Amino acid sequence: MRAMIFDVDGTLVDTNASHVRAWHRAFARFGYDIPAERIEVEIGKGGDKLVPSVLGKEEEARAGDGLRQAQKEEFLAIAGREHFRVFPGAREIFEALRRRGVSTALATSSDEKHLQATLKSAGVDFTTLADVVVTKSDADESKPSPDLVVAAVEKLDLPAAECAMVGDTVYDAEACEAAGVLCLGLLSGGTPATELLAAGAVAVWRDVAHLLQDLDRALNIANLPSTAVK
């Protein structure tokens, strides 16, 4: 296992609830009364997947682009007003992996502007800590499609079998499985361990600090044949 890919939202930075609020406000702008609970289960997807999943294909065709723009505006406003919490261990794990000779990547369904707003609010520029950064512009489709993970693997210039990804949603796990990359699940985004494991995660930790504390065992798990892990 020569590289570890990290999701950002809900994995390194505590932003999932803010994404829910931004989507809720965006839907309201267009006259849709969508409960926050309905949006929560979609967080981790990009807007190209979230809108049709919530509203259906017909409403996606009618209002999808406008909704995604509204969500972007709402999220940027939240990021400008609030300080996003960085999960403990999020910075330190990059150096710990570097000391072990493991390359790192960020892979987010957010576009560059979303990502920079997130990192500015958080006060940590993870793009300077990772070896590779992949955003929405690097993929035709967002998670749970494998495009982002595949793009990260290609930028790392490694076989998929030599990479693992750390994520907090079932969509991370599904994208990894489709890309042939092992998924290490975190509970920090609110998804239960049972759901992460059912979606394809090979193991689950409480948060990135727990993963850092257990890093050598995690790397050993990632190096096991998939049949041995399962």
> What pLDDT is attached to residue 223?
85
- Better-predicted residue by pLDDT, 103 or 143: 103
Q: Which residues of 39-72 are buried (b: 16+ CB within 10 A; e: fewer)?
A: bbbbbbbbbbbbbbebbeeeebeebbeebbebbb
Give mean pLDDT, residues 181-208: 97
Give mean pLDDT, residues 189-199: 97
138 and 190 inside one domain: yes
User: With 80 as the cut, is the pLDDT of residue 227 above it?
Assistant: no
100 and 60 inside one domain: no
Q: What is the pTM of this model?
A: 0.93
With pLDDT > 90 as the criterion, what percentage of the chain qualifies?
A: 91
215 and 102 inside one domain: yes
> What pLDDT is attached to residue 229?
43
Write out the residue range of the structural domain in which residue 157 sits: 3-15+85-229
Give mean pLDDT, residues 159-169: 97
CB 75 within 8 A of CB 18: yes
134 and 150 inside one domain: yes
Rounded Cα gap, residues 197 and 219, in angstroms: 17
pLDDT tens-place string over residues 20-49:
999 999 999 999 999 999 999 999 998 999
128 and 75 inside one domain: no
> What pLDDT is attached to residue 196?
98
User: With 60 as the cut, is the pLDDT of residue 117 above it?
Assistant: yes
129 and 148 inside one domain: yes
94 and 206 inside one domain: yes
69 and 112 inside one domain: no
